[in-house]
Structure 1
Amino acid sequence: MRCLVILIGMLLAPQAWANGAWEEIWSAEGTIIRGWLATPEGDGPHPAVVMMHSCFGPVDDQDELAAHDRSWVNILTDVGYVVLAVDSYTPRGAGSLCQERNRPVLARAERPWDAIGGLQFLQERSDVIGDKIAIMGWSNGAISLLWAVRDGASAATALEGPDFRTAVAYYPLCNDVVSRIDDYLPRVPVLVQIGADDDWTDPEPCRSLVSETRSRGGEMALEAYDQSFHLFDAPDTPVRPFMAVNDVEETGLIEIHFGTNDAARDQSIRRTLDWLADHLR
């Protein structure tokens, strides 16, 4: 347990951040949740990004946004995006779920509705361009992203305005999708970014998902970064082992690795910003 606290603490360690605050929002399925809202300089209106957190959850022990998520808030607001980092866990009484098999909040169940709720919250703001909103997700949040933007997704029935314009998914567990449906198509262009050495969310199912989706006419792209594990984009997090649950495989806790690869982090940030600029122009 002490090891778990130390590892999570590294991911949640405070840094210098852009301004932001928690806002109450409604999940599209009717539950009150919340999101960390941060705005860039200038009056706007601005394009925007909905962020979906990993299974570690989005907060530190001070109930502030965690270091990994905050680093992305800074990156995105610095280049002119309004950002809403949706918290699917805390309002439902959940903390880190990475070591939980029977999770009370699921990437394919509640969280796609949370994503749509975040989209609708932003569309009600006068400083946001309502038809220029992207969604980004990491790990469990990236799985929820894939389900949220799926053609025919239940959560999409709640859409009242424009859809997400595009999506960026960091190291999703693509098995969560390919093990359940064989005709996946996204409603919007999706960029998947993953570590080539990821031993928590295997990149091979993502390669297959992207290839098969493109063969059906869907717009998906994949970037796999050499010598990179899970959370390679986390700031200042040395690579180390961690005992975690894989959502799909019935293996209990498995030893995986996560941590920063500075070169891959920098490359993926540039790729993300280029992708967003291309699709939100």
Structure 2
Amino acid sequence: MASVSKSKTTKSNTIAFFDRTAFAFSLLVILVSTASAQEKVSFASTDGELNGGTPTSISGYLYRPSGPGPFAAVVSIHGCDGATNEKGEVRPLYGTWGEILSQKGYLLLLIDSFQPRGHGSLCAMLPVFSRPVLPNRETPMDVYGALNYLRSRSDVRSDSIAILGQSYGGMAMMFTIANGALPKDVAPDKDFRAAIALYPNCPPVADKDPHWRPRQPMLLLMGESDTATPPGPCKDMVARAKAEGSPPIDMYFYPDTYHAFDHPNLPMMQMISQKRPDGSSPIAGSNPEARADAINRVTQFLASELK
């Protein structure tokens, strides 16, 4: 197992091609394998107020355990590259979590906030709040649509649903679970029970809400060497949240580990399209040891919080 403290792990060799909130999708895209969802579904977003009363029909990719259920469930939010590639295939980075968690007995719904609105990757559109689908507006409304959909299913334990987001999805998740952000039509006892963020982009969240803190227990996993979404601002934001009486937040930062460390098998590389003023470029890539540790931590966290 990786050597982990509340800030540590090891090195890697695989890439991600999605958010930095500055990860332009001129990053070369390396697709190694495609994770297959068990079922494509659709459900209504709660964004009707943005669309003149007509909610957007959102696509979702459902990963279901075998057996009748009912199961604890997870809503998963993709990064800025979108849930699917140009062929409409679920990207391995996101689909793999569906496969892993469904094998562990959780029903996972990966939502697609971009394609139903006519967008592919939005990584090249900067700053983040210039994008046509925002992490603090459309995506949270899609997430609550997904929550409503899951709660309507007889094979889901409606009181045992968590939320997971990676990169841009992690940032959107943090907006979704912020204290005071629960929609008025969602009763507190029908809210998400737990939240998981993998390498989110924290500065936009902190800038919008300097007193951010989650409504539920949260697990945060990041690479210590991540220059795409650096961990420092997240550490500061969580420290402030804890000082203000936040629910429990567990943080783990893996040393010598970069963005998208949980991708199953993409080579680590410099993102030359994202040169810094000093001539350096962000690095992204998988870390097998950190990935294995993250899978273990996520499953233990879900088992504890979704009893």
TM-score by length of 2: 0.83
Please state if 1:276 is matched with 2:302: yes
Tell whether the 8 Å contact from 2:164 to 2:170 is kept in structure 1 after alignment. yes
What is residue 46 of structure 2 aligned with on the other side?
Answer: 28
Query: CA 1:21 to 1:265, structure 2 compared with 1: closer, same or farther past 3 Å?
Result: same
Of the candidates 129, 132, 137, which is equivalent to residue 157 of structure 2? 129
Alpha-carbon displacement from aligned partner over 1:206-259 (angstroms, at most 9, x marks no partner):
1111111111111212110111110000011111122678xxxxx9xx932111
What is residue 186 of structure 2 aligned with on the other side?
Answer: 159
Tell whether the 8 Å contact from 2:27 to 2:273 is kept in structure 1 after alignment. no
Separation in structure 2 between the aligned mates of residue 225 and residue 158 of structure 1, nearest angstrom: 39
Moved over 3 A (4+): 3-7
Identity value in percent: 34
**Runs of at least 5 residues in structure 2 that lack an aligned partner in the other structure:** 1-23, 48-54
Aligned-partner residue type, residue 215 of structure 1: A
What is residue 4 of structure 2 aligned with on the other side?
Answer: none
Aligned-partner residue type, residue 66 of structure 1: R
Tell whether the 8 Å contact from 2:56 to 2:116 is kept in structure 1 after alignment. no
Separation in structure 2 between the aligned mates of residue 4 and residue 32 of structure 1, nearest angstrom: 26
1:21 positional shift: 2.1
**Is the strand fraction higher in 1 or 2?**
1
Please identify, of 121-130 and 217-226, the stretch whose mean Cα deviation from structure 2 is larger.
217-226
1:15 positional shift: 4.2
Separation in structure 1 between the aligned mates of residue 184 and residue 137 of structure 2, nearest angstrom: 14
Please identify, of 217-226 and 87-96, the stretch whose mean Cα deviation from structure 2 is larger.
217-226
Of the candidates 71, 74, 94, which is equivalent to residue 69 of structure 1? 94
Separation in structure 1 between the aligned mates of residue 171 and residue 262 of structure 2, nearest angstrom: 17
Separation in structure 2 between the aligned mates of residue 244 and residue 180 of structure 1, nearest angstrom: 28
Query: CA 1:16 to 1:68, structure 2 compared with 1: closer, same or farther past 3 Å?
Result: closer
Query: CA 1:158 to 1:65, structure 2 compared with 1: closer, same or farther past 3 Å?
Result: farther
**Runs of at least 5 residues in structure 1 that lack an aligned partner in the other structure:** 246-250
Tell whether the 8 Å contact from 2:25 to 2:122 is kept in structure 1 after alignment. no
Alpha-carbon displacement from aligned partner over 1:116-156 (angstroms, at most 9, x marks no partner):
11111100000000010000000000011000011111x62
Separation in structure 2 between the aligned mates of residue 206 and residue 81 of structure 1, nearest angstrom: 28
Larger RCO (CA within 8 A; separation ≥ 6): 2
Aligned length: 271
What is residue 7 of structure 1 aligned with on the other side?
Answer: 28
What is residue 64 of structure 2 aligned with on the other side?
Answer: 39
Aligned-partner residue type, residue 184 of structure 1: W
What is residue 16 of structure 2 aligned with on the other side?
Answer: none
What is residue 241 of structure 1 aligned with on the other side?
Answer: 270
